[in-house]
Amino acid sequence: MSAAVAALVLLIAALVAGAAIGETSIPFDVVVKTIANRVFHAGYPLEPLDEGIVWSYRLSRAVVAACCGASLALAGAVLQSLLRNPLADPYILGISAGASTGAVAVALLGFGAGMLTMPVGALIGALIAFTLVSLLAIRAGHGNSAIILAGVAGSQLFNALTSFVVTKSANAEQARGIMFWLLGNLSGVRWPDVWLALPVCLVGLAVCLWHARALDAFSFGANAAASLGVPVRGVYAVLICVSATMTAVMVSLVGSIGFIGLVIPHAARMLVGVRHAILLPVTALTGAVFMIVADILSRIVIPGQVLPIGVITALFGAPAFAFLLGQKRVGR
């Protein structure tokens, strides 16, 4: 219980920091009073401009960042356990690239005749990408390296398709905005995006936790899981769909962001071990806090300019993964 309380306090502190730190510094007490005014109608006298920045811009952005980090980290942890491959994550396996292609196709080409939203298009693209990668991996062989090599090929294919669609169908302004979005961009998220990201993240976490014991069994292989009474195909299908859904929704909101699903699960395993009942919530919390911190850095590293958040995650994620490889713990 004390650990859960400490985790909740850490997440709240990160959210408050995300709302307070930015291009314009706002005192923490103003952030707290703004939240009290909006949630509990406390009636604290505040500057309308400061209150608007905190509530309408920064806090919603921090919540979406937390949901995105938690969802991508969870998807990475689940994929690594299901596939028994320490390099598996939504970005490397092409799921993020497929989701990007689906979202861009809906936005620019009008796929679905207006009946499909960007999250739905991203989900369809993510599922198509993972299906293609899986079929290619099965054809290539069942070794651990096959799924990764297939994922790299799938990522290149869907990234090329996205670039082709943008080049062919977007004007200069649209192309610039989409390419910036594809690198990871939280600037446009607001509270309506929170009401999409938060339920997806919480439901995804709940489903993954429900299957925590099955994921423990998958760590010893599909045959071992089946011998322990796990319905392998059903669990596999549910968890792959959940991972793809979380990835697709987050990509549709903030773009394709790498390294979170790869590095964060390994860092969490180093902290708490491999039991998924503990690993999954720690992974989600670590991913949420990391993403909020990355978003803060993206706004303050270069004064007057916002960096794509994917740049920040890569700058920290690549050295962190190199360190993990040096520790020889990635495959454990």
Q: What is the pLDDT of residues 165-198, one digit of tens each?
A: 888 887 878 788 788 888 888 888 889 999 999 9
Percent of residues, the chain, with pLDDT higher than 90: 39
Confidence band of 214 (pLDDT split at 50, 70, 90):
very high
Q: Which of 191, 192, 188 is closest to 177 using CA atoms?
A: 188
60 CB contacts (<8 Å, ≥6 apart)?
A: 189, 190, 191, 193, 194
Percent of residues, the chain, with pLDDT higher than 70: 93
d(CA 187, CA 194): 13
pLDDT at 297: 92
> Which residue type, as a one-letter code, is found at position 73?
A
Mean pLDDT of 108-128: 80
What's the chain's length in residues? 332
pLDDT at 85: 84
d(CA 64, CA 46): 25
Mean pLDDT of 97-109: 88
Q: What is the pLDDT of residues 148-167, one digit of tens each?
A: 888 888 999 999 999 898 88
Confidence band of 66 (pLDDT split at 50, 70, 90):
very high
pLDDT tops 80 at residue 29:
yes
d(CA 324, CA 262): 11
> What are the φ/ψ torsions at residue 304 (nearest 5 degrees)?
80, 5
pLDDT at 75: 95
- What's the Rg (C-alpha) of the chain? 20
pLDDT at 144: 62
Would you say the pTM of this structure is higher than 0.85?
A: yes
Confidence band of 331 (pLDDT split at 50, 70, 90):
very low
d(CA 111, CA 39): 39
> What does the block give as tokens for 210?
């429900």
